[in-house]
Amino acid sequence: MLRSSKLKQGYLIISLLVILSMVLSACGGSDATPTTGATGGATDATPTTATGTTGGNATAAPTGATSGQTGGAGSVKDNHPNTIVEASAGEPESLDPAWAYDTASSEIIMQVYENLLFMNKEKTDQFVPMLAEKMPDISSDGKTYTFTIRKGIKFHDGKDLTPEDVAYSFWRGMIQDRSGGPQWIMLQPFFGLDVQGFKSDVVAKQNSNNFAQACEAVKKTVTFDNGANTVTMHLKAPYGPMLQILVGTWASIVSKPWVTAQKGWDGNCSTAEKFTDPKAEQDELFKNMNGTGPYKFERWAPGEEVDLARNDSYWVKDALWQGGPTGPAKIERVVIKNVKEWGTRFAALKAGDVDIAQVDQQYVTQVDPFIKETCEYQKDCTTTNANGFLRVYTKMPSVSAGAIYFNQAVNTTGGNNRIGSGKLDGNGIPPDFFADVHIRKAFNYAFDWDTFIKDIFNGEAEQALGPVINGVLGYDPKQAHYSLDPAKAADEFKASALKSADGKSLWDTGFTIQYVYNEGNDQRKTGGEILKDSLSKINPKFKIDIQTEPWPAFLKEQTDSRLALFYLGWQEDFHDPHDWVFPYLSSGGTYAQAQHFPKELQGQLDTLITQAVQETDKTKRVQLYGQLQNMTYENALDLFTTQSQVRQYEQMWVNGFYYNPIYPPSSGAGLYFYALSKGQ
Amino acid sequence: MTSFIIRRLLVMPVTLLGLSLLIFSMLQLLDPVQRASLYISSPPKTADALQAVIHTYGLDKPVWEQYANWLGNLAKGDLGWSKTGQQPVLSAIGNYFPATLELALWSFIPIITVGVWLGVKAAVNHDRPLDQVTRIFSIVGYAIPTFVFGLLMLMIFYATLQWFPPGRLSDWANRVVYSPGYHTITGMNTIDALLNLRLDIFWDAVLHILMPALTIAYVNWALILRVVRSSMLDVLRAEYTTVARAKGLKESAVINRHARPNAMIPVVTIGGLFFAGLLNGAVISETVFNFHGVGWWATNAATNLDAVSVLGVTLFSGALLILANLVVDILYGFLDPRIRLA
């Protein structure tokens, strides 16, 4: 009796404790965090719009649009005025600038490390000296670049930056050259455009597998003179994008003594081999950072966040660009959180715990009702909803584009159901189906760009006019391009010389072809549906079978050249037309190598690509890339779909954002936290 | 009993080895290119890149060689490098498991206590309004997807009321926890905070863990409640219960002393497996509440074909499950003396 009564009481106590703890927590939480709707005053003060833009191709810079520590309509309060918190869905792969090749890593690296040159704020084709004292002296033959290094700059560990550190950084990167990494970008101007990697080309082919000799060859490409305070780069041939590649994170400057102290390479060629092609975890700088930048590395909790702390003795006294920031950063700390689940990111944004958040295309409509201020690219900001609490920057052209690719000689080894029967009989296509230019043109005339952009991108994309995208040197908005024209598509199909075994034309026989995209990418799926619908209206015998594959399987089939018709995208490595025409058109390019263009045409394309990249005269380069764009159009080599536009969502109290498409994007547009501030 | 425990513990490594072989064989069904996609998330930028990655990570080596290498490293206590966890697998388990264990403890206690209490109440009040209410409560809890319920909680109690934030700690608390003066002992924030005498950190950790714990609890109360109710109803109809009543015992004594202890055996079975399940990670709650534990990591590893991590998590989960079964078997003996382990 007594026992049962005690048990009963025990249950009651436990239950009450559970309930009580929740109630207490709730009460406690309300004390610690701001209540909603309690800060209305500040919100009314900010129906202002941006005070215009700065020069050049400036984006809207809402300098007059600040609202202090509270957002719009008194709904959200900044819970951490001295810290900026960004929530994205990306996880860095490595913090070593020489190793990292993903945007999540690059975003962090950009805040901690610095380069010889930097971009002039939002201008992608203008550079300013950063660790270099001035812009480089370039020899008349375009093969020698001499940099004078700024004096008095210290790394975060207190050691002085020296010309040797600069040269060492480039050597270390090229010799490290991990598999699938970014160092091919630095190797090509020094060792030749056909170079794929340090081990495979510089060591094996150019130095007969003599590693030490190859290492010495690398050291000869970038030399230093501590006395004269200079670093000189010796290119194999003139290289048009040279300045562009020097602003990438792979060209960040590290401290030689510090790297050596981390058990990294000491600069001696006799020990270099063991530092080449490391796995991420074997790399001494995988989780360590020591740069000269405005923020110091504090902590990386894998899967959770990266914390950066302000460098209080940051060296910039004179702004790098007109009106740019000087001295230590305005914001003390930067926290970049990895929040994969959208609902959690959204909730954090609404609670004011996150200042900048990644909002994927499919969730835009959920966030839009909370937008107070909309800043359209290169236009002033406007207040769209006085009750909102967020600011959004829209229609900023990205540096990625998509295309539907035609494979002109499908690999049929061991059978290939991607081309059905493998014959022109209505149930498949022959492997060389797309070798017929009329068919490629017909597919281009059959694609409805307007519907694609309107339905899938909510109008926030533009038609890609060829491999060279808007914003990149050589882009011409008047470039000849294809538009939806079913009649012309029909004419092109009828003009095809393809015949079935019994002599029937393509038009009479029809075809069935598999269109493949990577699993989970609905944009690419819709692209296929639009094409399918359009082709079936042109001729009901033209059938497309839309298939999806997980990324690993898709990658394998694409590289094996087994896909006939597929959708993929490209994000640039450096902001130069070479990085666009090479993958799309070169015989060694990521896509072109598996598309089998006709030999004669491929030869012409390769020659032009080499000529264009080695040309240093900007006007001539523009002409050459124009030629390549035209050849792509005339031969309808691919079906270029869209260049997407990006959005950036931030709390109203975040100031100083500007759009530079080259900054590594993490939560939307790329961010240079040094330029940001919070509050009034 | 002792020989039973020793025998079960001795069989464990063999079972785990078999498990690892099974998982390893299944992973080998994937092509090297497919497995290389873990390291290349977009089209390779150079022609040689893909092959170079395959070679660097030894993905093209014969299966037996890969397995032998893995076993050799295992013998040295090295479970490999987790690409998705960005740390060695053992270290990842060490880092993520305390979060999972803490969440499991915070959710398991209310699941069992409230679940048993409600189940008993429902059975005792069979077909009365209280029974109907608990049944509706359990059906709703069982029917509502964890994901939806979690997001709902997040939107109400975090986005709107700002009471219970996601994650494990606030930014300010994280800074304290990672500062030199703070000692991380168990990795469980609530316990470590108490051991460090930091009530502010403890409170912050409690605020962060309550929502995911409550979410797990609510969607699982239904199961315990129904099992207890059903078991209690059986026991209440048993002859010895009738005898107890006939002897003139009070109803509360009949229920608490005779019925409830006998109705607990299925609860122990389910509870044991349930706890082991929780220790393997509450994937959805951990994801929705950004509470990075083993479940969150394992899912991430599986979706990215991170073979090394998948193997490590599988072995760890397998060991936990075996141990949980062992504990359940031992508990049977205590609960019901008629059950003897030999």
Mean pLDDT of A602-623: 96
Which chain B residues touch A281 with a CB distance below 8 Å?
81, 87-88
Which chain A residues touch B48 with a CB distance below 8 Å?
196-197, 200
Q: Which of B41, B54, B96, B162 to mutate to test the interface with A (most CBs of A within 10 A)?
A: B162
CA–CA separation, A479 vs A482, rounded Å? Answer: 10
What are the DSSP calls for B15-70, one per residue? HHHHHHHHHHHHHHTS-HHHHHTTT--S--SSTTHHHHHHHHTTTTS-HHHHHHHH
Residues facing A337 on adjacent strands: A87, A305
Residue B1 Cα, gap to closest chain A Cα (Å): 29
Residue B115 Cα, gap to closest chain A Cα (Å): 10
CA–CA separation, A112 vs A160, rounded Å? Answer: 16
Q: What angle, rounded to 10 degrees, do the helices at A163-176 and A184-191 form?
A: 100
- Please, which pLDDT band fits residue A180 given cuts at 50, 70 and 90? confident
Give the pLDDT confidence score for residue A242 in this predicted structure.
97
Give the pLDDT confidence score for residue A580 in this predicted structure.
96
Give the pLDDT confidence score for residue A66 in this predicted structure.
37
Question: CB–CB of A143/A235 below 8 Å?
Answer: yes
CA–CA separation, A29 vs B7, rounded Å? Answer: 50
Residue type (1 letter), A387: N
Residues facing A393 on adjacent strands: A375, A648
User: What digits encode the pLDDT tens for the residues B279-296?
Assistant: 876 888 898 898 989 988
pTM of the entire predicted model: 0.82
CA–CA separation, A229 vs A662, rounded Å? Answer: 29
Q: Which of A95, A96, A203, A555 to mutate to test the interface with B (most CBs of B within 10 A)?
A: A555
The least confident of A23-32, A374-383, A430-439, A503-512 is: A23-32
Q: Select the more confidently predicted residue: A280 or A601.
A: A601
Question: CB–CB of A479/A466 below 8 Å?
Answer: yes
For the CA atoms of A494, A496, A501, A503, what is the dihedral angle to 10 degrees?
Answer: 50
Give the pLDDT confidence score for residue B338 in this predicted structure.
64
A341 with B287: Cβ contact below 8 A:
yes
- Sites in chain B below the pLDDT cut of 50: none
B161 with A281: Cβ contact below 8 A:
no
Confidence check: pLDDT of A588 > 80: yes
Which chain A residues touch B46 with a CB distance below 8 Å?
184, 196-197, 588, 590
**Phi (first) and psi of residue A90, to 5 degrees:** -110, 150
Interface confidence (ipTM) of the complex: 0.78
Which residue on chain A is closest to B283 by alpha carbon? A341
B57 with A279: Cβ contact below 8 A:
yes
Residue A449 Cα, gap to closest chain B Cα (Å): 24
Residue B287 Cα, gap to closest chain A Cα (Å): 7
Which residue on chain B is closest to A333 by alpha carbon? B171
Residue B159 Cα, gap to closest chain A Cα (Å): 5
B162 with A36: Cβ contact below 8 A:
yes
CA distances from A221 to A140, A170, A224, A257 (A): 18, 9, 10, 21
Three-state secondary-structure class, residue A477: coil
Half-sphere exposure of A527 (CA within 13 A, CB side): 28
Confidence check: pLDDT of A7 > 70: no
Mean pLDDT of A468-485: 96
Chain A and chain B share a number of CB contacts under 8 A equal to: 201
B45 with A590: Cβ contact below 8 A:
yes
Question: CB–CB of A669/A663 below 8 Å?
Answer: yes
Give the pLDDT confidence score for residue A472 in this predicted structure.
95
A344 with B250: Cβ contact below 8 A:
no
For the CA atoms of B38, B44, B45, B48, what is the dihedral angle to 10 degrees?
Answer: 110
Mean pLDDT of A258-268: 97
CA–CA separation, A298 vs A238, rounded Å? Answer: 40
How many Å separate Cα A164 from the centre of its chain?
Answer: 31
Which chain B residues touch A570 with a CB distance below 8 Å?
43
Residue A344 Cα, gap to closest chain B Cα (Å): 6
SS3 content of chain A, % helix, strand, coil (to 5): 35, 20, 45
- Tell me how far apart the 2 most distant CA atoms of chain A are, in Å: 103
CA–CA separation, A375 vs A396, rounded Å? Answer: 10
Which chain B residues touch A591 with a CB distance below 8 Å?
43
Residues facing B81 on adjacent strands: B88
User: What digits encode the pLDDT tens for the residues A83-105?
Assistant: 999 999 888 999 999 999 989 99
Give the pLDDT confidence score for residue B45 in this predicted structure.
67
Mean pLDDT of A609-615: 96
Place of tokens 């370039």: A138
CA–CA separation, B297 vs A367, rounded Å? Answer: 28
Q: Select the more confidently predicted residue: A511 or B296.
A: A511
Mean pLDDT of A466-495: 96
Question: CB–CB of A466/A629 below 8 Å?
Answer: yes
Specify the DSSP class assigned to residue B196.
T
Q: Select the more confidently predicted residue: A589 or A251.
A: A251
User: What digits encode the pLDDT tens for the residues B184-220?
Assistant: 999 999 999 999 999 999 999 999 999 999 999 888 8
Which residue on chain A is closest to B108 by alpha carbon? A18
Place of tokens 């149930």: A427
Q: Which of A255, A265, A131 is nearest to A198 (CA)?
A: A265
Question: CB–CB of A306/B174 below 8 Å?
Answer: no
How many Å separate Cα A672 from the centre of its chain?
Answer: 15
User: What digits encode the pLDDT tens for the residues A55-83?
Assistant: 333 333 333 333 334 444 446 888 899 99
Confidence check: pLDDT of A36 > 60: no
- Please, which pLDDT band fits residue A532 given cuts at 50, 70 and 90? very high
Half-sphere exposure of A352 (CA within 13 A, CB side): 27
CA–CA separation, B64 vs B249, rounded Å? Answer: 68
Per-residue b/e over A401-411, b at no fewer than 16 CB within 10 Å?
bbbbbbbbbbb
* Long-range CB contact pairs, A328-332, < 8 A, 24+: A328/A294, A329/A294, A329/A295, A329/A673, A329/A674, A330/A676, A330/A677, A330/A678, A331/A82, A331/A83, A331/A84, A331/A673, A331/A676, A331/A677, A331/A678, A332/A82, A332/A83
B56 with A335: Cβ contact below 8 A:
no
% of chain A residues with pLDDT over 70: 89
Place of tokens 């899967």: A303
CA–CA separation, B307 vs B313, rounded Å? Answer: 10
Confidence check: pLDDT of A374 > 70: yes
Give the pLDDT confidence score for residue B42 in this predicted structure.
66
- Tell me how far apart the 2 most distant CA atoms of chain B are, in Å: 87
Average model confidence (pLDDT) across chain A: 88
Mean pLDDT of A215-224: 98
User: What digits encode the pLDDT tens for the residues B220-235?
Assistant: 888 888 888 888 888 8
